[in-house]
Amino acid sequence: MEIRTQVKAETAREMDRPGKIYVKGSYLFINEIKKGIHVLDNSDPANPKFVSFINIPGNGDIAVRDQTLYADSFSDLVALDISDPVNAKETGRVKNVFKNGSFDGGSWSLNETVGAINDSDARFVTETVTTNCEDTPFPISWWGGGWFFLADMASFSSSSAASSSSGGTNGQAGSMARFALHQNFLYAVGQNNLQLFTIDNPAQPQQSATISVGWGIETIFPYQNKLFIGSTTGMYIYDNSNPAEPKQLSVFRHGRACDPVVVHNDVAYVTLRTGNACAGAQNQLDLIDVSNASSPQLIKSYQMQNPHGLSIDFPTLYLCEGEYGLKLFDVKDKFAVDKNQIAHFKGMDAYDVISLGKTLLLIGKDGFYQYDASNPNDLKQISKIPVGKSI
């Protein structure tokens, strides 16, 4: 069956297995695991509306620069023109670049047989792969994927993902991101490497380099002129002041556990957790001093229940606790975070969260939430899009 001709806009459909998410302008993009992207009109956050579905076989990850959306499609990287999100169109494709790990067919659950594209005949070729923690963020029975959150730049100050010296406008990724944008480059992490793509011509990305990082690579978070890469065994820090040649500065080692990272000023916030796909026994929040990126130092560890994604709108830290909900902390005092918990919201299986300043986005097992966060001490739900909502 031909796969590469199936990327196209279709009529809207309900969410079944929601995955990674973008916010760009007034539109919301929610990944449907290995199938494509839901496009929603979010001009009224209290009443977001489905407008179309972009069919992208094997999709799990996305990133946006201006009017171009980048997505994995099994082993390919695809670029789409989303200037009219209802009629998104493919503009470019880099074939057979994601050879291993989560990008090789979107390996979303343990021992799941998945498809990859064979360039000679563009037919399904199946293989069994072993995934890492971020491939199965939720219990396997829920078939979880992962989430990305991107939004317009004016709302962000905490990440270099929010601006580009090339003149383009990016979004901002969440803590579970595997794609990142910096200047004229798209970065993509796999299980053991960092792939670089040039996007001087946004519609026609070109593969430029592959950098070996380590094993169990899960997430990437760009901040200023650094890349913070999370793995199952530690946090890697890369200098990307020359974005064409990121250079490793250091590695902060920890016991085996899932490891998303966000950074604000000289502090990296890292959650470690156990789970179905995460070996080890650590459920904690680590604060790490990265003022000297060549020699990161642990500030303090705080015990948590089962921490997943997190977001920082200093001094408020939003931390997802999986089935235990969402926690808010005041982190002004780095040595007393546990004593400064602002709130604990239960009743959702919280996976990842993004602070847009006055608005908070959260994805969980049962759907997508938006909150009024203008007063973190009085967080108020604006809307919810539940899984299975009728169109």
Predicted TM-score (pTM) of this structure: 0.84
More confident residue, 214 or 346: 346
- Per-domain residue ranges for the chain? 12-386
Exposure string over 72-83, b if 16+ CB within 10 A, otherwise e: bbbbbbbbbbbe
pLDDT (tens digit, 9 = 90+) per residue, 231-249? Answer: 888 999 999 999 999 999 9
* Interatomic CA distance for residues 231 and 223, integer angstroms: 17
Looking at the predicted structure, is the pLDDT value of residue 364 above 70?
yes
Lowest-confidence region among 43-47, 194-198, 223-227, 333-337: 43-47
63-67, 83-87, 122-126, 273-277: which has the minimum mean pLDDT?
122-126
Instruction: Give me the phi and psi of 24, to 5 degrees please.
Output: -140, 115
182 in Cβ contact with 222 (< 8 Å) = yes
Backbone angles phi, psi at 16, to 5 degrees: -120, -55
320 pLDDT higher than 60: yes
* Phi–psi pair at 177, nearest 5 degrees: -65, 140
Question: 69 pLDDT exceeds 80?
Answer: yes
Q: What percent of the chain has pLDDT over 90?
A: 54
Question: What local confidence, expressed as pLDDT, does residue 89 receive?
Answer: 95
pLDDT of amino acid 116: 45
Burial class (CB in 10 A: 0-12, 13-18, 19+), 127: exposed
pLDDT score of 71: 93
- Nearest CA to 368 among 31, 134, 56, 1? 31
Residue 362 clears pLDDT 70, i.e. is over it: yes
The answer, yes or no, to whether residue 150 has pLDDT greater than 90, is no
CATH code that applies to domain 12-386: 2.130.10.10
Query: Residue 98's pLDDT is what?
Result: 87
3-state SS, the chain, equals CCCCCCCEEECCCCCCCEEEEEEECCEEEEEECCCEEEEEECCCCCCCEEEEEEECCCCCCEEEECCEEEEEECCEEEEEECCCHHHCEEEEEECCCCCCHHHCCCCCCCCCEEEEECCCCCCEEEEECCCCHHHCCCCHHHCCCCCCCCCCHHHCCCCHHHCCCCCCCECCCCCCCCEEEECCEEEEECCCEEEEEECCCCCCCEEEEEEECCCCEEEEEEECCEEEEEECCEEEEEECCCCCCCEEEEEEECCCCECCEEEECCEEEEEEECCCCCCCCCCEEEEEECCCCCCCEEEEEEECCCCCCEEEECCEEEEECECCCEEEEECCCCCCHHHHEEEEECCCCEEEEEECCCEEEEEECCEEEEEECCCHHHCEEEEEEECCCCC
Cα angle at 83 between 148 and 4, to 5 degrees?
A: 70
Phi, psi dihedral angles at 153 (to 5 degrees): -75, -30
145 pLDDT band, cuts 50/70/90, is very low
pLDDT for 379 beyond 90: yes
pLDDT category at 279 given cuts 50, 70, 90 is low
Question: pLDDT confidence of 53, banded at 50, 70, 90?
Answer: very high
Sign of CA dihedral 346, 271, 355, 191: negative
Q: Residue type at 234?
A: G
